[in-house]
Amino acid sequence: MLQAGLHNLRQASVRITEVSPRDGLQHESEFVPTLRKISLINALSRTGVAEIEASSFVSPAAIPQLADSDEVLRAIDRIPGVTYSALVPNERGLERARAAGVDKIAVFTAASNSFTRHNIKATVQESLVRFRPIVAAAKRDGLAVRAYLSTVVFCPYEGRIAPAQVRDVMERLLDLAVDDISLGETIGKASPTDIRRLLDTVLPHVEPARLSLHFHDTYGMAVANALTAWWDYGITAFDASAGGLGGCPYAPGASGNVATEDLVFALKASGANVPVDELLVAACAQQLGDAVRHPLNSRLSQLHHREKPQPAWRE
């Protein structure tokens, strides 16, 4: 019976949330011009991804790279079937996001108090209190709400995190009526065994369809962890970043997110139904590397570099 249930879950289309425009770009030191960001999102919209995290409505002083979030969200082409979301840290950010026409907002916490103190200057409890009115207001406005829950296996300051600790914060987020939760493996150190231990603990308390997994590839384990979650547990939603762009400045040594094109290729090769064109994503990634002026880490982009794919966006 269990295997039959897993088989049914695996038949569902895999949902990819593309995070390069926000999580990928936010800590790049060289400002990427607004028109290039708009063109990137427009190109990603045509790759088959289900959702694009387009920007963040934080203070421009905090993240200068995303100071143009209002302009970007207003100017992009909206493709039917694609959800356009943005990170919102406070009620002022929610007002800006609503005015810019986002479909969905995201709020952020972690399973580790040390990590939230470094990242958002609050404890986990304080972060939940802080965004309770944000979630309530967004839901009243008809906006979907995602919650990011980071450090779900390891914390750069506290070490290994107990799965029960993650479960407890997750349940409090569900009590706030968020629509889905992204579990973030922040420092990229987890193995498939760690992911099994985590999912064995949290899945009895949440519908699998409400979870997305967000892997970093610091130790080269991200694709293996994603395949484990899909095959062993029927998880069909993943966050990924074109070219593997991104990382966590509050997690020393943590490299980029799992590359969208590499993850899509691996899932398809394993039999998953993924309605994303990995070669179009690879084309986006190659030009994204040009925009940030440093090479990206995607295997697939490197493999197809000599094939000179058609430009993914127009200047």
Query: Identity (one letter) of the amino acid at 233?
Result: Y
Reduce the DSSP state of residue 36 to 3 states and report it: helix
In angstroms, the Cα distances linking 68 to 201, 217, 249, 293 are: 40, 28, 21, 20
8 A C-beta contact, residue 270 and residue 50: no
Looking up tokens 């899909």 gives: 230
Q: Can you name the residues that pair with 15 across neighbouring β-strands?
A: 237
Instruction: Output the six-digit token pair for 68.
Output: 């143009």
**Other residues' Cβ atoms within 10 Å of the Cβ of residue 265:** 22
284 is catalytic: no
Output b/e per residue, 202-240; b: 16+ Cβ within 10 A: beeebebeebbbbbbbbeebbbbbbbbbbbebbbbbbbb
Residue 207 CB contacts under 8 Å (≥ 6 apart), including other chains: none
Instruction: Establish how many alpha carbons lie within 13 A of residue 46's alpha carbon, considering only the half-sphere containing its beta carbon.
Output: 12
**How buried is 29 (Cβ within 10 angstroms: 0-12 exposed, 13-18 middle, 19+ buried)?**
exposed
**Of residues 152, 248, 288, 312, which has the active-site annotation?**
248
> CA 260, CA 33: separation in Å to the nearest integer?
23
**Interatomic CA distance for residues 226 and 214, integer angstroms:** 9
Hey, which residues are catalytic here?
A: 248
